[in-house]
Each structure stands twice: as C-alpha cells, then as structure tokens.
C-alpha cells in the first residue's frame, strides 16, 4: 500500500487534480482504495452500474466500446462518467499489463467538488478535452 505522500504525487499526475493543492489531495488520497489487476483482467464491464472511477497509477488498460478502442496508462482516468452520472458503463476496460489503480467513489468525489473549485475546473477541462478528441472539427 502506498503512503499518503506517494498517493498525492500520483494524483498530481492526473489532469483532474493538477491544480489542486497538495493538502487537499492528501485528504482525498486517504479515501482511495488501491486495486491491482493482472493482464487480461476485466477492470470494468460495459453495462455495469457502479458509482466509482479509477485513476491509473501504473500499467496500461484497453478501453473497448462499440465504436472504438484505445489504450490508457498512468495519469489517465477511466469510468469518470459514473461519478458524474451513475448510469450503465459505456465501455469494457481490460488490463493490458499489470495495473495499479486508485478507486475513487462518487461520495468522496462529490465532496472534493463541493469543497474545492479547482477540482471542478479540472473535471470540466478533462471533459472538454475528451469531447474535442471524440468530435474533431469538420474540414
């Protein structure tokens, strides 16, 4: 299990939290669960209804949707829509390598959003980035 200071360093690598002060991240870091996955393990299943997301600390995952597939690694997040709008998952996520991930539950995420505006700003920026990536401008 990682120490709180190590968790804060990992959280600073995630775009959602890069503007959040370390002291705030230290509080959030204590709420995280650590999960490990072996290559081939299912991290999330399309259609599942869950109220948490994963922050990838180490390793790579494959995100598979009906319209595309991509790989993500350290500093990325998966399942973030579930903490914003808990509906069935839209993708299956599978470990490509050994993976260490932090599980962040909706209640803890909501508290961070309420108490720290920089977390909300990070969420908005990340969602805009993903929207732009998935909907490139027409040429």
Give the per-residue pLDDT at 103: 95
Average pLDDT over residues 101-125: 84
Q: Which residues pair with 42 in a beta bridge?
A: 94
Instruction: Decide if 8 is inside a domain.
Output: yes
Instruction: Decide if 101 is inside a domain.
Output: yes
Q: What are the tens digits of pLDDT across the range 54-65? A: 999 999 999 999
- Which of 90, 82, 95 lies closest to 47, judged by CA? 90
Strand order in the sheet with 77-78: 33-37, 99-105, 52-58, 77-78
Q: What are the tens digits of pLDDT across the range 22-48? A: 888 888 888 899 999 999 999 999 999
| Whether 35 contacts 89, CB under 8 Å | no
**Count of structural domains within the chain:** 1
Instruction: Decide if 50 is inside a domain.
Output: yes
Instruction: Decide if 139 is inside a domain.
Output: no
Q: Which domain holds residue 125?
A: 4-107+116-134
| Residue 31, Ramachandran bin (φ over 0: left; ψ between -120 and 50: alpha; else beta) | alpha
Q: Which residues contact 96 (CB under 8 A, 6 or more apart)?
A: 39, 59, 60, 61, 62, 71
Q: What are the tens digits of pLDDT across the range 77-104? A: 998 888 888 889 989 999 999 999 999 9
pTM here is: 0.84
Instruction: Decide if 94 is inside a domain.
Output: yes
Residue 1: CB atoms within 10 Å: 6
Average pLDDT over residues 2-9: 88
CATH of the domain at 103: 2.60.120.10
Instruction: Decide if 121 is inside a domain.
Output: yes
């Amino acid at each position: 299990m990682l120490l709180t200071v190590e968790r804060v360093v990992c959280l600073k690598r995630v775009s959602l939290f890069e503007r959040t002060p370390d002291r705030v991240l230290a509080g959030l870091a204590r709420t995280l669960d650590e999960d490990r996955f072996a290559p081939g393990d299912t991290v999330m299943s399309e259609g599942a209804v869950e109220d948490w997301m994963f922050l990838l600390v180490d390793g790579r995952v494959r995100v598979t949707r009906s319209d595309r597939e991509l790989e993500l690694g350290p500093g990325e997040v998966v399942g973030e829509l579930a903490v914003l709008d808990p509906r069935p998952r839209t993708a299956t996520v599978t470990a490509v390598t050994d993976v260490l991930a932090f599980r962040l539950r909706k209640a803890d995420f909501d508290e961070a959003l309420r108490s720290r505006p920089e977390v909300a700003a990070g969420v908005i920026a990340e969602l805009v980035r993903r929207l732009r990536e998935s909907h490139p401008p027409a040429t």
